[in-house]
Amino acid sequence: MGKKKGVEFDDGAPDDFDPNNPYKDPVAFFEMREHLVREKWVDIEKAKILCEKLRWCYRIESVNHLQKVKNRGFSKVMLP
């Protein structure tokens, strides 16, 4: 037994899903639903990581955190 070199995930949406008639193929329907949920969870986790980095920046910089946030590129995502 050896270590696996890597894990392969199916990242894309199912090929046989028909958005005009989603109930035609139930397996493709559920695969598409799982794909959408997975993408939403990825977006949520990205937002959590950004918030964690923003909290760290605020804790370290306190008074000047807005200037440091702009320098680190968070202003595009977190600040209006």
Task: Write out pLDDT tens, residues 8-47.
Answer: 767 777 888 888 998 898 888 998 999 999 999 998 998 8
**pLDDT confidence bin for 77, thresholds 50/70/90:** low
pTM of the model: 0.64
pLDDT of residue 79: 44
Task: Write out pLDDT tens, residues 45-61.
Answer: 988 888 888 788 778 77
Task: Report the interhelical angle of 65-72 vs 26-61 (nearest 10°).
Answer: 140
